[in-house]
Chains A and B, each alone.
Chain A
């Protein structure tokens, strides 16, 4: 924000103290940039590279939305948020959407007044221990020292799990994932608990990954997804259906490689045609143009491509699709029909 915008904001404040909040879509279009809240760094999901550009699985969602709305996948301002600042950043309008490994829970949805638009990663809280401890089940963890990341749902799950199973533990609260990883590796805690996707990515980054094992217990459901503010349903729809477009594209076999060909003219599959705007007027209904989904998918590829590029089995993170495979392949990824 440059100085004139700053002064402008003050002016606006002085003139129209009680103006109704403008529609987020108009705001974003006027600004020409999408403000997207991310975390301060989770490998594979969001981290800045050497050129300072943010990359990752969550980042691709932001880029897809920016491409759909602004026709420019680069027109995203990434706002790093901590566990503490993420919700206020969204509530106060500092960011237009959050896409940062955030668990969809009842109280966040209802009490904090946010709208989770979908799930881009089905996760669950797990435990990782060094093999040499000889632990094979989480129920053997009585008395263990556990590294947890503060400001997340994992703390509460952990407290519940140990209380229910009548075990004691020593929590070591840690601010960032990199810090937690460092402490775990040095043996400052016996167990590292967080979302199992993160566990896998952390384990894969170890020099000797085979010396660590992820326990079979998954003690919680952690559906991670992008979220927006309550009360602006048009904007919520745009983010929701952009995410769905990415998922549906994978299901329908639309990839960044063949999308140019498929969107050039209407083909045989009416659903692909509707998605890519060669048939019907879905884009118009969203308040965008017909090509919105084409741009969103071209930005970072479809859901599967983005997954493979950032966190898939061929990356250092090395996550299997598992629950996050398409429903047709035995997973939970299921986009409502484009019709």
Chain B
């Protein structure tokens, strides 16, 4: 062909023309705008409407927010400073009360403890999330559930140590009892022994130990002092932490082919998921003490944590069930073919993979739960919204409204948005499939 070509065409360019810059209307900001904002008349109209909408919002918000009222000590003060009765933000209330919205009445000189707790939480989660970290760090992760409440509530160090001992004892019973009694009996025995340890031996033992070796942190006055965003964190973290094992058991129960076990698990999960959290909180505030043996008196924060744990374990069970269902059947069969028994297969093959798949689900359950902790204000606990109500009852701040709600909304947004972004990042990172 080329021969013919050479004979018929007088001139053929043998090198490429240099690329010319595209017209200014299709590249750069103008091109981008044409492509994305004004590609058709309809699109142009939509863009303009959207711009007008954005302008409207900002034209309301910015004049309201941009008042330098940080030093005001009462609403009347604010009104004097701005010379306006309405339409001006009074930031003095945030300046004066932000500590209460963040920490409640938590003793001022002890506030490093919850902050340290938060840092340690990151340290404890790191080895679970990132497999390239030293495996030894997992020991700290295991210890964290005992350190966390101790740092918040304070008191003698022996209680968390002995509580952790309960697990060790239960584990030892399983390990050595298995050969003598068989796995089933050993497991039942381990549970009984651990319960006896926690319920009857822990308290006197810790008293004895702390009188011999009084090591501990200064205890806080009462759980009521935990308030504001800290309360939301404590309820959220403790409830999610406790609900994880319960959720795993429930999910396995729901998947098992033991009819009675399955029915109990399904019944529990569907009951909890069928009623609003607020009714469970009403139960916590008015009924839980009636269900307990006479003379028992948990304080309200513990009661709320108990009910929220039950609540989140039902949701956790569903998340983990999703993770279990996502595993290919070959994994179960592979476990069986290696001759592993049920618990071994779960521990070594199924759960590590299922939990990994479930991490994004667990994080979003946590975000949901963290937002739901605001409901405790309805039963009179002092979470951020509860504090907002109390602050508004202070004679100096009667009439303040938007500033407090805006501040709280921003707090929650930062925390929840941060977590959801982080979970998306993790999701990408944890994706081991090809």
Query: Which chain A positions have C-beta within 8 A of B379?
Result: 82, 84-85
Query: Which chain A positions have C-beta within 8 A of B395?
Result: 43-44, 47, 205, 315-317
Interface assignment of B315: CB less than 8 Å from any CB of chain A: no
Q: Closest CB of chain B to A329's CB: distance in Å?
A: 26
The reply to whether B380 and A82 form a contact with Cβ atoms under 8 Å apart is yes
Query: Which chain A positions have C-beta within 8 A of B401?
Result: 182
Interface residue from A79, A94, A315 paired with B297 (Cβ < 8 Å): A94
Distance, CA A32 to CA B308, complexed state (A):
30
The reply to whether A7 and B393 form a contact with Cβ atoms under 8 Å apart is no
Query: Which chain A positions have C-beta within 8 A of B159?
Result: 2-4, 7
Q: Closest CB of chain A to B49's CB: distance in Å?
A: 31
Closest partner residue, chain B, to A47 (CB atom):
B393
The reply to whether B296 and A13 form a contact with Cβ atoms under 8 Å apart is yes
Interface assignment of A110: CB less than 8 Å from any CB of chain B: no
Interface assignment of B96: CB less than 8 Å from any CB of chain A: yes
Query: Which chain B positions have C-beta within 8 A of A178?
Result: 389, 392-393, 398
Query: Which chain A positions have C-beta within 8 A of B380?
Result: 40, 80-82, 85
The reply to whether B300 and A94 form a contact with Cβ atoms under 8 Å apart is yes
> Contacts A9-B298, A13-B295, A47-B394 known; A2 to B202 CB distance under 8 Å?
no
> Contacts A40-B386, A84-B282 known; A2 to B219 CB distance under 8 Å?
yes
Distance, CA A317 to CA B200, complexed state (A):
53
Distance, CA A127 to CA B221, complexed state (A):
41
Distance, CA A175 to CA B379, complexed state (A):
11
Q: Closest CB of chain A to B317's CB: distance in Å?
A: 25
Interface flags, B155-193, vs A, CB<8A=1, else 0: 110011001000000000000000000000000000000
The reply to whether B222 and A4 form a contact with Cβ atoms under 8 Å apart is no
Distance, CA A44 to CA B394, complexed state (A):
8
Query: Which chain A positions have C-beta within 8 A of B311?
Result: none
The reply to whether A43 and B297 form a contact with Cβ atoms under 8 Å apart is no
Stretch at the interface among A17-25, A135-143, A293-301: A17-25
The reply to whether B219 and A92 form a contact with Cβ atoms under 8 Å apart is no
Interface residue from B154, B202, B389 paired with A7 (Cβ < 8 Å): B202
Stretch at the interface among B64-72, B283-291, B423-431: B283-291
Distance, CA A137 to CA B102, complexed state (A):
46
Interface flags, B290-330, vs A, CB<8A=1, else 0: 10111111111110000000000000000000000000000
Q: Closest CB of chain B to A48's CB: distance in Å?
A: 5
Interface assignment of A336: CB less than 8 Å from any CB of chain B: no
Distance, CA A78 to CA B301, complexed state (A):
14
Distance, CA A231 to CA B282, complexed state (A):
26
> Contacts A3-B155, A13-B295, A205-B395 known; A88 to B286 CB distance under 8 Å?
yes
Interface assignment of B82: CB less than 8 Å from any CB of chain A: no
Q: How many residues of A contact B (CB 8 A)?
A: 56
Interface assignment of A326: CB less than 8 Å from any CB of chain B: no
Interface assignment of B262: CB less than 8 Å from any CB of chain A: no
Distance, CA A84 to CA B198, complexed state (A):
34
Interface assignment of A189: CB less than 8 Å from any CB of chain B: no
Interface assignment of B378: CB less than 8 Å from any CB of chain A: yes
Interface residue from B149, B199, B299 paired with A94 (Cβ < 8 Å): B299
The reply to whether A16 and B295 form a contact with Cβ atoms under 8 Å apart is yes
The reply to whether A9 and B389 form a contact with Cβ atoms under 8 Å apart is no
How many A-B residue pairs lie within 8 Å, measured between CB atoms? 160
> Contacts A2-B153, A40-B380, A94-B289 known; A8 to B389 CB distance under 8 Å?
no
Query: Which chain A positions have C-beta within 8 A of B222?
Result: 1, 33, 77
The reply to whether B386 and A2 form a contact with Cβ atoms under 8 Å apart is no
The reply to whether B293 and A6 form a contact with Cβ atoms under 8 Å apart is no
Distance, CA A43 to CA B292, complexed state (A):
36
Interface assignment of A226: CB less than 8 Å from any CB of chain B: no
Interface assignment of A207: CB less than 8 Å from any CB of chain B: yes
Distance, CA A320 to CA B223, complexed state (A):
38
Query: Which chain B positions have C-beta within 8 A of A49?
Result: 394
Query: Which chain A positions have C-beta within 8 A of B282?
Result: 84
Closest partner residue, chain B, to A176 (CB atom):
B389
Interface residue from A15, A17, A94, A175 paired with B200 (Cβ < 8 Å): A15
Interface assignment of B247: CB less than 8 Å from any CB of chain A: no
The reply to whether A41 and B223 form a contact with Cβ atoms under 8 Å apart is no
The reply to whether B302 and A43 form a contact with Cβ atoms under 8 Å apart is no
Query: Which chain A positions have C-beta within 8 A of B203?
Result: 4, 7-8, 11
> Contacts A2-B154, A11-B200 known; A80 to B390 CB distance under 8 Å?
yes
The reply to whether A40 and B394 form a contact with Cβ atoms under 8 Å apart is no
The reply to whether A88 and B390 form a contact with Cβ atoms under 8 Å apart is no
The reply to whether A10 and B199 form a contact with Cβ atoms under 8 Å apart is yes
Q: Closest CB of chain B to A168's CB: distance in Å?
A: 30
Q: Closest CB of chain A to B124's CB: distance in Å?
A: 19
Distance, CA A323 to CA B355, complexed state (A):
67
Which among A77, A79, A178 has the greatest number of chain B C-beta atoms within 10 A? A178
Interface assignment of A50: CB less than 8 Å from any CB of chain B: yes
Interface flags, B62-91, vs A, CB<8A=1, else 0: 000000000000000001000001000000
Interface assignment of A12: CB less than 8 Å from any CB of chain B: yes
The reply to whether A43 and B394 form a contact with Cβ atoms under 8 Å apart is yes
Query: Which chain B positions have C-beta within 8 A of A33?
Result: 221-222
The reply to whether B224 and A3 form a contact with Cβ atoms under 8 Å apart is no
Query: Which chain B positions have C-beta within 8 A of A88?
Result: 285-287, 289
Interface assignment of B141: CB less than 8 Å from any CB of chain A: no
Distance, CA A278 to CA B60, complexed state (A):
68
Interface assignment of B236: CB less than 8 Å from any CB of chain A: no
Distance, CA A335 to CA B155, complexed state (A):
44
Query: Which chain B positions have C-beta within 8 A of A205?
Result: 395, 398-399
Interface assignment of B105: CB less than 8 Å from any CB of chain A: yes
Interface assignment of A177: CB less than 8 Å from any CB of chain B: yes
Which among A2, A40, A89 has the greatest number of chain B C-beta atoms within 10 A? A2
The reply to whether A207 and B85 form a contact with Cβ atoms under 8 Å apart is yes
CB under 8 Å from chain A, chain B span 101-129:
104-105
Interface assignment of B243: CB less than 8 Å from any CB of chain A: no
Query: Which chain B positions have C-beta within 8 A of A263?
Result: none
Distance, CA A185 to CA B286, complexed state (A):
34
Distance, CA A207 to CA B287, complexed state (A):
43
For the A-B complex with A4-B155, A10-B296, A88-B286 known, give 10 more contacts whose Cβ atoms are closer than 8 Å: A1-B301, A11-B199, A17-B293, A17-B294, A48-B394, A50-B97, A80-B386, A82-B378, A82-B380, A207-B85
Q: List 16 A-B contacts (CB under 8 A).
A: A1-B301, A1-B302, A3-B150, A6-B302, A7-B206, A9-B298, A11-B199, A16-B295, A21-B294, A41-B393, A79-B224, A80-B381, A92-B289, A182-B399, A205-B398, A317-B395
Q: Which residues of B contact A (CB under 8 A)?
A: 79, 85, 96-97, 100, 104-105, 149-150, 153-156, 159-160, 163, 198-200, 202-203, 206-207, 219-224, 282, 285-287, 289-290, 292-302, 378-382, 386, 389-390, 392-395, 398-399, 401
